[in-house]
Amino acid sequence: MTQQDGKTILITGAAGFIGYHLARSLLLCGYRVAGADSMNDYYDPALKCARLKELLAFERFSFIEGDLADAGLVERLFIEAKPNVVVHLAAQAGVRYSIENPRAYIESNVVGFFNVLDAVRAHPVEHFLFASSSSVYGNRDKTPFSVEDRVDKPVSLYAATKKSDELMAYTYAHLFGVPATGLRFFTVYGPFGRPDMAYFKFTKAILAGKPIDVYNGGDMLRDFTYIDDVTSCLERMLFAPPKPDETGAPYALYNIGNNKPVRLLDFIRALEDALGKKAELIYLPMQPGDVGKTYADISETRRDFGFEPATQIDEGLRRFAAWYRAYYYA
């Protein structure tokens, strides 16, 4: 990645999984990075603190802790950081948790997103990139999932909030010329990942000799995407804002996926190999809000940014397993 002198990248959710990896990579490239994160306790805050500690070791990294649903805090963040590019990754994640605590999703993914989007309008930047999700595709038979597909039937509130973000961003691109790119992530995994995700939970249970819950009889497909492939793609996108579409709106959507879905049972076998230990499986029915398969059509991402995911699932899980043992057992 070629450094653009004097540029500051604002990353919200900087202590999160993708945010940490992107921030660290950019700092190593010599960029200034301003980070923001609420450091909430949706999952173990110690993991977020460990990520943040690594970032704070860089002189070119600054950080503000706070809730982006606070419009005043967001305004202060933009005034102090003066970003050239904004990568908005902060969000309340998780499909199942959105059934239990829907208000958290409205406050973070709708109100918080709007506050950041409106700050980008008031403090123009070269490019506004934001996290969407493969969840917007819902349950569908047609594969692979294309950014041209209709996505008006979400099966979880989480998915609905992410689709809402896409719509708001398009409106701001159309009305105010905000150059916006939505990133539909497909099951990103890897070291320093999120403990609420299945592969992380599976690892913890397997190493502890406890059974793991396998939904829908293991007959589920996921387009697992390794974190290094994701950050490499995002770096290429930072200074490449979209060209105006047919309405004049500088707006685009891209799938960020592996384009090679893996059956859940095959994924578990690969994880067993990486850990050197067999799993005890408990088969359960499909959970509300879950989707049977995700499968990314990355033709646009490949065409515009040369995106070619390079990390095979076996290698990605070996790297994750090595990190997990070092982090929790060293």
Could you tell me which residues come within 8 angstroms of residue 293 by beta carbon, excluding any fewer than 6 positions away? 143, 220, 221, 222, 261
Q: How far is CA 65 from the centre of its chain?
A: 19
| CB 168, CB 112: distance < 8 Å | no
Three-state secondary structure string covering 194-207: CCCCHHHHHHHHHH
Average the pLDDT over 212-240 and give the result. Answer: 93
pLDDT digits (tens, 9 = 90+) for 135-163: 999 988 888 999 999 999 999 999 999 99
Catalytic residues: 158
Distance in angstroms (rounded) separating the CA atoms of residues 180 and 249: 9
Predicted model pTM:
0.95
Residues 8-189+225-259+294-311, CATH architecture: 3-Layer(aba) Sandwich (3.40)
Task: For residue 220, name the pLDDT band (cuts at 50, 70, 90).
Answer: confident
List the beta bridge partners of residue 86: 10, 128
Distance in angstroms (rounded) separating the CA atoms of residues 173 and 166: 11
Backbone angles phi, psi at 173, to 5 degrees: -65, -40
pLDDT digits (tens, 9 = 90+) for 79-113: 999 999 999 999 999 888 888 899 999 999 999 99
Burial of residue 330 (number of CB atoms within 10 Å: 0-12, 13-18, 19+): exposed
Q: Please, what is the angle between helix 113-122 and helix 157-176, to 10°?
A: 10
- For residue 5, give Cα distances in angstroms to 77, 134, 323: 21, 34, 33
